[in-house]
């Protein structure tokens, strides 16, 4: 990441928000907080956080709505979501993971484990960004190669066409000359020219097949 990672904390309990904010800032990251899904959605739209720490149960709010909103927005496809849960209800946690959450943390927090999980998630985001960059570069390279090959084929086709036209003209002129009465040395010279022309035609054909076998 080129900028300092920004983490949004969404929890209705102020004490939890404050603790998480301190832990995150201690790691050298930026932190913003929201107590409701409406506030969270506004912050997500305005500030585009890299990671969202989202409480599973927020009174009067819908955590699932936040996940769905983030996952439906292409501009937020790099944003990770880590659920915060005060219960070990695996079915509930699984439903959020299925909806698009990346990980979960159980309350009460172990500070060491919390820090490790946050750093790991952000590292995964960075890796995915690098991967996307590499895939984009590869795709761009393939596109440029395809265009270069197409330009080469067009050039070779035109060059071959023009050369064959010129050689055909030479061969036809030579054949016409041979129809007349000419000294032996002239006839021999024309025959040599025609043989060389045929050889050049064959070489051009072979070269074109090697360069553009299609």
- Give the pLDDT confidence of 111-121 residue by residue, as tens digits: 888 888 888 88
Mean pLDDT across the stretch 137-165?
80
Confidence grade of residue 46 (pLDDT, cut at 50, 70, 90): very high
Confidence grade of residue 145 (pLDDT, cut at 50, 70, 90): confident
Residue 214 pLDDT greater than 60, yes or no: no
Residue 92 pLDDT greater than 80, yes or no: yes
Confidence grade of residue 1 (pLDDT, cut at 50, 70, 90): low
Mean pLDDT of the chain: 83
- pLDDT of 47 reads 93
Residue 103 pLDDT greater than 90, yes or no: no
Give the number of C-alpha atoms closer than 13 A to the C-alpha of residue 209, restricted to the C-beta side. 6
Q: Annotate the chain with three-state secondary structure.
A: CCCCCEEEEECCCHHHHHHHHHHHHHCCCEEEEECCHHHHHHHHHHHCCCEEEEECCCCCCCHHHHHHHHHHCHHHCCCEEEEEECCCCHHHHHHHHHHCCCEEEECCCCHHHHHHHHHHHHHHHHHHHHHHHHHHHHHHHHHHHHHHHHHHHHHHHHHHHHHHHHHHHHHHHHHHHHCCCCCHHHHHHHHHHHHHHHHHHHHHHHHHHHHCCC
Out of 7-16, 118-127, 180-189, give the one with best mean pLDDT: 7-16
Q: Which residues contact 40 (CB under 8 A, 6 or more apart)?
A: 8, 10, 34, 52, 54, 61, 66
- pLDDT of 8 reads 96
| Domain range 6-109, CATH architecture | 3-Layer(aba) Sandwich (3.40)
Residue 70 class from Cβ within 10 Å (0-12 exposed, 13-18 middle, 19+ buried)? buried
- pLDDT of 186 reads 79
């Amino acid at each position: 990441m080129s900028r300092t990672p920004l983490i949004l904390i969404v929890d209705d309990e102020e004490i939890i928000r404050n603790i998480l904010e301190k832990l995150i800032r201690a790691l050298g990251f930026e932190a913003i907080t929201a107590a409701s899904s409406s506030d969270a959605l506004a912050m997500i739209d305005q500030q585009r956080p890299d990671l969202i720490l989202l409480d599973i149960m927020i009174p009067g709010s819908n955590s699932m709505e936040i996940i769905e909103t983030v996952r439906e927005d292409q501009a937020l496809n790099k944003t990770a979501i880590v659920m915060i849960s005060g219960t070990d209800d695996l079915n509930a946690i699984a439903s959020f993971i299925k909806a698009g959450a990346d990980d979960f943390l159980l309350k009460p927090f172990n500070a060491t484990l919390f820090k490790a999980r946050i750093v790991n998630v952000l590292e995964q985001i960075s890796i995915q960004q690098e991967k996307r960059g590499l895939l984009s570069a590869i795709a761009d390279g393939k596109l440029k190669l395809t265009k270069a090959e197409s330009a080469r084929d067009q050039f070779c086709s035109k060059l071959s066409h023009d050369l064959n036209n010129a050689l055909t003209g030479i061969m036809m002129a030579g054949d016409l000359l041979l129809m007349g009465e000419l000294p032996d040395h002239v006839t021999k010279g024309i025959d040599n020219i025609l043989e060389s022309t045929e050889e050049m035609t064959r070489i051009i054909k072979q070269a074109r097949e090697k360069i553009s076998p299609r």
